[in-house]
Amino acid sequence: MSALERIHRTLTFADAPSIVRAHQKDSFYENNLIQLLQDALKIVKNQRFIHLYSNEIVIFGKFLYLSLTTLVGSRTLGEEYVDLIYVTRKGKKLPRLFRRLSFILSYAILPYLLKHIAKTLAKRNDPPNYDVSNEKESANYLIKNCKSLSSFKIFFKLLSSKISYQNLLSFIMDSHLGFFYIFGSYYQLSKRVFGLRYALGHKKPISSNNGSYEILGGLIFIQSFFKSLNNILEFFSDYFKILSIKNVQITKSNQNQSQNSGSAHSNGSEYNHSDNIIYNLNSANDLYDSLKSDHDIDLSNPNVLPYIPTDSRLCMLCLSPMINPSSAPCGHLFCWTCILDWSKEQNNCPLCRTPIESKLIPLR
């Protein structure tokens, strides 16, 4: 009997509580490493760079942490804390380099790439002012154009807005987490795919009992079921509402064919506009391009827009004097590019969380 076989005969698979404790410890050290990276980049670059590439910094931090530990065959700090080691799916071998590298790439980098690929594919065949990932904007688009769309196209365009990348990923992760809490293996989906399982590095006492998460796993599945049921009901409710609007538009259009086109347009206008139109951010980019260069308004000059107090002339996102100051609906001021980049990720004010809905006012 080899030494490796003797080791495997003494090891048992780790339970869910032990894996959760290791993951919490690793998350703590990952966040510390990401904070150190941000501090270093703040010295080399500036705060605006960190704001623009915050997601990329987080991804690089996770990749770096796992590369320095799992990739080279060492244990992470969380795994050492709980005394866990990686084994293959059946627990008979240690995972090779290819499995470890595949896990790291799929865990740290693949979700980021899939998110951008999904957005690119979703927008490729859609109009320039139509964001398929935004449910509210999608509904507005379908309401304004339902008359020219077939019921089949309305169905699938509305379905694509409901089943977005984020919603699908959330459903998959909830299901995976439910299985983990019930069966106690593969905390990350990537580990389930590549067969990296945890085993205890010590012999577990017979009387040891760390608790159980089966009830929590069942609750997650119940929550996912009702959430999915609610989404299905909401989808068909929106679908039939849009079809009813389409039928009203067609009926009114047929009734007014003898009248001028302007009258027909006015009859359908109450359905062609929404009370909450979401303007595409591309138009904001075009506006900025038309205002920049010689027309930039730099608040580092106290003579520019003197009515703005001295203590209010710094942008709270880049911490520099504002360039092309712009006001959010709540009245807070930011650089035009800073608040525009922020609103692409978070549709609310960075300070008070008031919804922005792309209603930005450049100050002149």
| pLDDT tens profile 35-73 | 999 999 988 888 888 888 888 999 999 999 999 999 998
Between 91-95, 299-303, 321-325, 360-364, the lowest mean confidence (pLDDT) is in 360-364
Domain shared by 96 and 238, yes or no: no
DSSP 148: G
Report the residue count for the chain: 364
> Would you say residue 122 lies in a domain?
no
Domain shared by 201 and 248, yes or no: no
CB 104 within 8 A of CB 70: yes
Domain termination residue (choose one: 277, 298, 323):
277
pTM of the model: 0.58
CB 360 within 8 A of CB 284: yes
- Residue 310, classified by CB atoms within 10 Å of its CB into exposed (0-12), middle (13-18) or buried (19+), is exposed
The stretch 311-323 carries a mean pLDDT of: 84
Q: Which CA distances in Å does 312 have to 40, 103, 287, 307, 308?
A: 28, 47, 24, 10, 7
Domain shared by 93 and 140, yes or no: no
Distance CA 62, CA 177 (A): 20
The stretch 79-105 carries a mean pLDDT of: 90
Domain that holds residue 136: 128-186+213-277
At 143, the pLDDT band (50, 70, 90 cuts) reads: low
Domains held by the chain: number: 3
Domain shared by 149 and 96, yes or no: no
Domain shared by 293 and 339, yes or no: yes
What phi and psi values does residue 273 have, to the nearest 5 degrees?
-130, 145
Domain shared by 180 and 270, yes or no: yes
> Would you say residue 123 lies in a domain?
no
Q: Which CA distances in Å does 193 have to 79, 106, 188, 197, 274?
A: 20, 9, 9, 10, 44
Domain shared by 64 and 181, yes or no: no
Distance CA 13, CA 108 (A): 25
Distance CA 305, CA 291 (A): 16
> Would you say residue 244 lies in a domain?
yes
At 112, the pLDDT band (50, 70, 90 cuts) reads: confident
The whole-number pLDDT of residue 97 equals: 92
pLDDT for 10 beyond 60: no
